[in-house]
Structure 1
């Protein structure tokens, strides 16, 4: 049992598998190979001539150089070191120095299933890629009447702290007290959790539509969080401003956060909202994110080991329990599958 608990904690700290994770904004992957690290794994992304994204382990099977330092040849990526080519399925496609090679066709690199949606590139991190669950995202990211603008950043903290921060509506009244959108409302509140079909909502019971008054966690093939920020009419058309957030581990000490800023607008109002956002509001929203980043990066990695939690922390405690249970199930299944 001790081994299971330790392994589950290590897995939880580095990132749960068998989920879809956003790994990069679509604009980050263009003509050249793009290397990154997610869940402790080195990955190279590139687009073929039709614009489709491929993702494989960022390691040349010949000598181990990073393929992301090489060239995009469309259907393959070529290593800078000796020109060895690997295709999107992770198979060695060509060894130029030999002309003909018995190594061609062998699969030596892990390949990651890819979905590009809502301005982001999602990869499946799981052991079995033959029966993938669908990537079901909140309605705000599925187009239609919703306009969603993605903001993403690297934070030097464990991803669990970034997720827990979103599950804490009360911090808005303090950390973001001078924000253009969170400067109003009481600094005391009663909180409760309620179940949803995909997760749960943690909300204030005595205040609604004034500040950051509720937050939702959902598990639908990916783990996401959602909240709304009330906006005055001076902030343009569309009513309340919704944020959908996801966080992807880079390693045990850092993460990549993804925040979609969403508003329900169509026609000319969509164009007006996008212009207003880019011209005036985007900088203000980055200021709010910077406040979160500074707080979280200033915390020790071991901060959760010496806490004094109170009632307003029930949402993040519930999230922790959900994530810990998922890690224990995952690691337990792996251990059970190992040969005796």
Structure 2
């Protein structure tokens, strides 16, 4: 049976059997790109048709990085000995010894992947879940819901779960972001409640809505993310409340790839106004708010919990932590039961 220490160690590199965004689409160009996500070395590349592929960044011959190789349009060619690997991980050619046993074998792990709203997502399954679960697209990122969005991406030196803790803590907006153009109103005292949903839960202020950062929702539906809304003053332009869809993908145990989609429900000319205002007036202010968060979280590695003294405002992050621990324990015990741990 998995112990608490096992669960904590397992969660250091993220929760498996989920889709995770790994990088902005615009960073995947002609050359293969090497990166690390959930502690795993990956190579990301586009084929001649523009499709993105995500694979383990190891040549099956000597284990050197495929990301140091050449994109041949329909395959990667390792620079070390010329071994060629196709998009499905099959070794297509071994120039130094044609017909050797490597040729024709699927020797490189390939991660199911797709692109959505400017980001590449990949499926990170465990040994029992190589096939991906359904990805339920957040409403704010769907094309049929009237939302428009911008992706903001950053890499922070913080434990991935602390990004989720921060987003499930609406009260910090009243203090840390009090001088923000959109978070200066509302009471500095509040009582909170938890409301279950079909895919997670909402953590919200009782008696205050659409005034400040008043609620967050944790969603676990094929991927794990937080959505929230912050009211905008009229000077923020059309589109109603300002929504955020946030993912934190662990790079390793102390660094996180942070994805923030900034969303508003606007179409036609209102969409054009919103996009213009965002690029020219609002984006810099939003990065300033994120810098306040980064400044607090930067350098906070796993283990901070033993120094905490939590109170009623922290029910959201307590619920989050319990959910993650439960999911991790379930995965560990399933692997143990199948002899795959």
TM-score by length of 2: 0.96
> Residue in 1 aligned with 2:178?
177
TM-superposed deviation, 1:99: 4.3
TM-superposed deviation, 1:131: 4.3
The question of 1:336 aligning with 2:337 is answered yes
| SS at structure 2 position matched to 1:81 | coil
CA distance in 2, matches of 1:210, 1:262: 18
> Residue in 2 aligned with 1:111?
110
> Residue in 1 aligned with 2:264?
263
| SS at structure 2 position matched to 1:169 | coil
- Cα RMSD, aligned residues only: 1.6
> Residue in 2 aligned with 1:221?
222
> Residue in 1 aligned with 2:142?
142
Deviations, residues 208-261 of structure 1 (Å, cap 9, x unaligned): 111100000011100111000101121111111110111111111111111100
The question of 1:154 aligning with 2:155 is answered yes
> Residue in 1 aligned with 2:282?
281
Structure 1 segments (4+ residues) deviating >6 Å:
none
Q: Is the 8 A contact 2:193 2:205 kept in 1?
A: yes
The more displaced of 54-63 and 321-330 is 54-63
Q: Is the 8 A contact 1:113 1:129 kept in 2?
A: no
| SS at structure 2 position matched to 1:315 | helix
1:185-264 mapped onto 2 (5 Å cutoff): 185-264=186-265
Q: Is the 8 A contact 2:191 2:205 kept in 1?
A: yes
Q: Is the 8 A contact 2:17 2:133 kept in 1?
A: no
CA distance in 2, matches of 1:44, 1:300: 26
CA distance in 1, matches of 2:340, 2:259: 39
Deviations, residues 145-197 of structure 1 (Å, cap 9, x unaligned): 11011111111111011111000000001111111111221111111010111
Aligned length: 339
TM-superposed deviation, 1:128: 4.8
The more displaced of 82-91 and 215-224 is 82-91
> Residue in 2 aligned with 1:133?
133
CA distance in 2, matches of 1:277, 1:58: 37
> Residue in 2 aligned with 1:321?
322
| SS at structure 2 position matched to 1:327 | helix
Q: Is the 8 A contact 1:4 1:331 kept in 2?
A: no
Q: Is the 8 A contact 2:37 2:249 kept in 1?
A: yes
TM-score by length of 1: 0.96
CA distance in 2, matches of 1:270, 1:173: 29
Segments of structure 1 that go 5 or more residues without pairing to the other structure are none
TM-superposed deviation, 1:301: 3.2
Segments of structure 2 that go 5 or more residues without pairing to the other structure are none
Q: Is the 8 A contact 1:4 1:332 kept in 2?
A: no
